[in-house]
Structures are given as structure tokens and as C-alpha cells.
Amino acid sequence: MKKLYVFLAIAAFLLPVEAFGQGYYRQAGVRTGIRGGLFIQLPSMYGNGEVNYNAMLGFNKNGIQLTVLRITYETVISEISPDLYFAWGYGGHAGFIVTDHISFLGERYNFADDRFCPVFGADGWAAAEYRFRDIPLILSVNIKPYVELSIPAFVKIMPADIGISVSYAF
């Protein structure tokens, strides 16, 4: 939790002071879930506000992982509420864990001592996002399925990494 406060304090000083309730283009926040973490999301460099790039730094099993996603926003849900958006995307992650065991297909494989294990994989993304009009806050319920390869050669498949994101829009 202390890391979250440090991240938000740094972001508050480095980012522009103005925040608008509509027309969000960038966001920074925190995501819960199996592979949760701190993230920043920026619009595409081509000026298309419907495509964003998300970079998330997660801490898991005494390790660190960087996830980068390309997210596309749809306004299909706008009939329910004009502030409700659907998002989908894809990307990948890389990092490492330090562990004394790895689980694979329900089996546990133990090492003699802690081992440094590089990991990399492919990620998907689907979310329903609500953008508040009067305050620069965005709430999201999302799912981020992933496939991961760790070295030594173990494959992990997570079809339902469900999380909640809270972010500051600027």
C-alpha cells in the first residue's frame, strides 16, 4: 500500500494540475486481481482517442512483471449510460519471480532452494469502464486472461484474472 501512495504522490507532482470530468485521454491508477499492480494509460500517438496503450507494473511471488496492453474502447454500452464504455485489447508481459516451487497442471514441483525464474507471456483484456463526469475518476471491472511461460519450462494458463481498477484521469 505504501508503494501506491508513493506512486500517486509522484504522479500528482509530475502531471498537469488541470483535470476535466469529460474527455479523458490519460489515466493512472491501481488494478486488483491475480496480476494486479500500478498502471498508466496513454492515448495512441496517432490522435485516436479510442485506442490507448496501458503499461502496468505488478509485484507477484517476490518478483516484478511489466505488462503492456493495446486497448480499444467501444461505446456499445452507451445506450445504458453515456459514461459507460466497453474496452478490449491484447498485449504481453515479461518479468521474473523468485520461488522455491512451481505449480503446473495441479502438480507442485519443489526446488532445493529459492530460484530466479524469468517469465513472459501473452495477455488479453476486456473491461466495462465507468467515467465520472464531475470528478477525474474512472472505475473499471476487467478480466485479463493470460498464458505464461516460466523458465524452467513451465506453462501457466489463467483464463480469468478478474480485477477492479481505480484510476485518476488527467
Cβ burial, residue 120 (10 Å; 0-12/13-18/19+): middle
pLDDT digits (tens, 9 = 90+) for 97-116: 888 887 777 788 888 888 88
Q: What is the pLDDT of residue 1?
A: 54
pLDDT band at 22 (very low <50, low <70, confident <90, very high): very low
Report the alpha-carbon distance of residue 165 to residue 60 in Å, rounded. 17
Closest CA to 163 of 65, 39, 52: 39
Residues whose CB falls within 8 Å of the CB of residue 54, separated by 6 or more in sequence, listed in order: 39, 40, 41, 67, 68, 69, 70, 71, 89, 91, 125
Report the alpha-carbon distance of residue 136 to residue 107 in Å, rounded. 45
Q: Name all domains of the chain by residue range, CATH numbers in brackets.
A: 2-169 (2.40.160.20)
The grid coordinates listed for 84 are 459507460
Global confidence as pTM: 0.78
Residue 57 pLDDT greater than 50, yes or no:
yes
User: Mean pLDDT, to the nearest integer, of 115-138?
Assistant: 93
Count the residues in the chain.
Answer: 170
User: Mean pLDDT, to the nearest integer, of 33-37?
Assistant: 89
